[in-house]
Structure 1
Amino acid sequence: MTNRTGSYRRVAVAGGVGTFIEVYDLLIYGYLATVLAAQFFPSGDPASALLATFAVFAAGAFVRPLGSVLFGHLGDRFGRRFALTFALLLMTAATVAFGLLPNYAAVGLLAPVLVVLCRVVQALSASAELPGAMLLMLEHAPAGRRGLTAAIANVASVLATAAAATVSLVLARTLTPVQLADWGWRVAFLAAAPIGLVGLYVRTRLLDSPAFVALGELARAGRTPLVQALTTAKLGMIVLAVWFAAQTIGGFTLSVAMPAYLIRTGLSPADAYTANLAGVLTSAVFAVLGGYLVDRFPLRRMAIVVMAGVAVTAVPGFLIITEHRSLTGAVLGQALCSIFLGPAYSVGAVLAMTWFPTGIRFTAFAVPLGTATAVFGATAPFVSTWLTTVTRSPLAPGWYLFVAATAATVAVVIGTGRLGQRSFPGSLPRSSDGINSA
């Protein structure tokens, strides 16, 4: 028992560290969007330059479905550890390369081309990290601690967002605007080098989950996880795609787009980063609370409450931000939106554990998440900025999140009702009450 507990804790820490590194590398781009816009997409109109910056962010993420299929196959065929280590190596290399890129003034149109290339590699590797790390941790977790374990990975993601916000805040407060634009932004990206080495060291010492090892070579040989997943688990994948569409719209809007949004409403960069840091820390707190509750209440009920809560708080959160136009208002508005967004990813991960068998679980989880992230999440900063510009309503991002979360609530009500009646060989039962309990 002691050895098993120690192994579980080591995997939880290792999975959390890897997720932290991946998300930090990914989101620092969003936090420095206003600086990067001037460096790589110069324009007489700041709004147009910002739109171009977020368009590149979205374009890179369109490879996520491809990455989900690729890494899902690797994770289901060769092991979670192999897929995660390879993904982290790609992410770290691309992020460090980004920190060394010449700007538009130095090489002209080649600069944005190189930005797109780095973003594509980052997004490709990110398609494996969150689902892979979450599954590795959950497959090691005791049955009664899966919600809390999912929260660990979620908290690691939120804390990485907080770290990116902190780095951006420190740079904004200690450097002049000229210094930040000249070389300061590079520091944030190059910091991924030592962090990435630590992550790779930890990842190479991970053990694959007992559930995966138990499949054996013969069970894994010759399989095509994607075909098998689409054949046997299509409904669950569709419901997860709708769920993660709403979750990633909220997550990317609050983490990536929010600093630029706050700056456009009149806050200083330092205040915008401070408010965003407070928001993501609030999300971490409620992620842990949500994980605790997932282990103690019927999963279907928790899923409905969480996503309905995201819908209900979306517009009021943005209303608080826009009405006050202050640091206090920004903190309170983001905190309100984060109450239910915090546990949303954890709930989705536990749904995947319940619905999908071990042999296709990586693919069946990663493909809906990667597709939803590409189509809805990664485009959310662009769409939110565009909606705000076109409608001239600062509440537009809140309404966008409201519509997405409402659709996800309906999907989870219908989907969990049907999927609760099914049993996939190799899936992990959550508890005796089942997912269909209300």
Structure 2
Amino acid sequence: MSYSPAGLDRRGYRRVVGAATIGTFVEVYDLLVYGYFASILAEQFFPRQDATAALLSTFAILALGSIVRPLGAILFGHVGDRFGRRTALVGSVLLMSGSTMAFGLLPTYASVGILAPALLLVCRVLQGLSASGELTGANVLVLEHAPSDRRGRAVAIVNVAGNLGAFTAAAVGFVLARVLSPEQLAAWGWRLAFVIASLIGLVGLYMRTRVLESPAFVALGDKPRRERAPILRALRVAKRRLLVVTVWTAAASLGGYMLVGFLPSYLIRAGRLSPADAFAANGLSVLVLGLSTLLGGYLVDRYPVRRVAIGVLVGTAIAAVPAFLLIVRSGTFAGAVAGQSLLAVFLGASGMLGAVLSMVLFPVPIRFTGTALASNLAVALIGSTAPYVSASLIAATGSPLSPAIYVLVVTAGALLAVVLGLPARQEEPT
């Protein structure tokens, strides 16, 4: 029985979805593990005289590792739009697995001195390059295989895989914090988390070599190889569309990085929770994130994208300050779960909506490049810097609510971009 535009049966379609999602799982897992173990990494890779400076340096490397993402977006976008979505995805998961394995084997500051943070940065740069093509490529591949009335739910599954990666990272952090002593966790326990991810990535590599290419890309024939570079065409014909997706992704990634990259450490310091309780509270909020993603996919398949997008942004703006108040004022496990879950209700839907925008705004020949460039610019400038900027805002203002104001301002910018730049009617561009 035909199930997708490519004529795949259900088994073939599930294979495409599985191959797309496993890399997204590893990408988010890697990022979250870094955030969860930021305090330990600060101790292991930087001098211990100033704990705050070491933590800020650790978050800075997280952000610096994403500076290369726009460059990676051009690279993987070119491959994806010229040679195929599958080819780009095989390359991204191969690079991701190698850099993650290296991460788990790095020497510490006590062993090699200043070389340790330098090697830490190199691994983050390689991870950033791989990530620049990962989620974009996975979303595009699944969207182009999916029936037109199930695209929202299809891309929601890919994004839920990211949520599952976040939950798994929280679970691994929780288990390691419970099973190992603080000394064991700092000495070698954190390494296990990265080695596990690299092995899963190798499974993803095998799966991606066995899936069919996107039917939309195949339908182009040899046209992609005869036309000018995708990046040049995107900059010439899709400037306004690039801006809309960039601003949207800035808001979505800011909230996402805030939730899973910054709040675990924030819960320990400002929320006064133990590391194990902070991991558990964050993990529960990630479950809410996954449910929100699925709900967002269902809504997009039933209602206009523009209407759903505006509703999600308004909800995020309203929830930002109350969510942080719950975390800070309560100082309890229940308050931490409630505050994070309030944000997660809207953030899950906003993440998957960004992928659907690529179908609405970019034609097939530049879809990979346009989406990758816009989303990775946003992540490099706003999303990945969220932990560092949030910690700096608190240090500068003395207010633990300053990150919430940051979320509110960026969300307002995204709302303006959607209102002015997103068409009311949902039609695939040509």
Question: Within the alignment, does 1:109 sit opposite 2:121 as a pair?
Answer: no
Cα distance in 1 for partners of 2:47, 2:345 equals 37
Deviation of 1:207 after TM superposition, in Å, equals: 1.2
Deviation of 1:25 after TM superposition, in Å, equals: 2.1
Q: Pick from 334, 358, 361: which aligns with 2:364?
A: 358
**What does 1:305-324 correspond to in 2, within 5 Å?**
305-324=311-330
Cα distance in 1 for partners of 2:215, 2:87 equals 15
Matched with 1:370 is 376
Normalised by the length of structure 2, the TM-score is 0.96
Deviation of 1:183 after TM superposition, in Å, equals: 0.6
Question: Within the alignment, does 1:223 sit opposite 2:219 as a pair?
Answer: no
Matched with 2:153 is 148
- AA of the residue aligned to 1:311: A
Instruction: State the Cα deviation string for residues 352-371 of structure 1 (Å, max 9, x = none).
Output: 10111111000010001000
Change (3 A) 1:38 1:188: same
Matched with 2:5 is none
Contiguous gaps of at least 5 residues in structure 2: 3-7
Kept in 2, the 8 Å contact 1:21–1:160? The answer is yes
Cα distance in 1 for partners of 2:199, 2:388 equals 31
Contiguous gaps of at least 5 residues in structure 1: 426-438
Deviation of 1:270 after TM superposition, in Å, equals: 0.2
Deviation of 1:218 after TM superposition, in Å, equals: 3.5
Cα distance in 1 for partners of 2:427, 2:200 equals 43
Instruction: State the Cα deviation string for residues 247-306 of structure 1 (Å, max 9, x = none).
Output: 111000100111111111211000000010011110001110111011001111001001
- AA of the residue aligned to 2:157: I
Q: Pick from 54, 59, 84: which aligns with 1:49?
A: 54
Matched with 2:217 is 212
Q: Pick from 404, 408, 429: which aligns with 1:402?
A: 408
Cα distance in 1 for partners of 2:147, 2:251 equals 29
Instruction: State the Cα deviation string for residues 326-353 of structure 1 (Å, max 9, x = none).
Output: 1110000000001110011211111110
**What does 1:33-432 correspond to in 2, within 5 Å?**
33-265=38-270, 266-417=272-423, 424-425=429-430
Matched with 1:14 is 19
Kept in 2, the 8 Å contact 1:77–1:221? The answer is no
Deviation of 1:44 after TM superposition, in Å, equals: 2.2
Matched with 2:36 is 31
- AA of the residue aligned to 1:312: I
Instruction: State the Cα deviation string for residues 120-140 of structure 1 (Å, max 9, x = none).
Output: 000010000011000000000
Kept in 1, the 8 Å contact 2:233–2:366? The answer is yes
Cα distance in 1 for partners of 2:412, 2:183 equals 44
Instruction: State the Cα deviation string for residues 205-230 of structure 1 (Å, max 9, x = none).
Output: 12111100011113433430001111
Cα distance in 1 for partners of 2:294, 2:428 equals 28
SS in 2 for 1:161: helix
The number of residues matched between the two structures is: 424
Instruction: State the Cα deviation string for residues 100-141 of structure 1 (Å, max 9, x = none).
Output: 111000000000000000000000100000110000000000
Deviation of 1:422 after TM superposition, in Å, equals: 8.4
Normalised by the length of structure 1, the TM-score is 0.95
Instruction: State the Cα deviation string for residues 346-399 of structure 1 (Å, max 9, x = none).
Output: 111111101111110000100010000000001000000111111111111111
Kept in 2, the 8 Å contact 1:220–1:359? The answer is no
Deviation of 1:416 after TM superposition, in Å, equals: 1.1
CA RMSD of aligned residues (A): 1.3
Deviation of 1:155 after TM superposition, in Å, equals: 0.3
Cα distance in 1 for partners of 2:263, 2:12 equals 38
Cα distance in 2 for partners of 1:422, 1:271 equals 46
Instruction: State the Cα deviation string for residues 407-432 of structure 1 (Å, max 9, x = none).
Output: 10111001114x8598732xxxxxxx
- AA of the residue aligned to 1:106: S
- AA of the residue aligned to 1:32: F
- AA of the residue aligned to 2:111: A
Cα distance in 1 for partners of 2:136, 2:198 equals 23
Cα distance in 1 for partners of 2:31, 2:138 equals 16
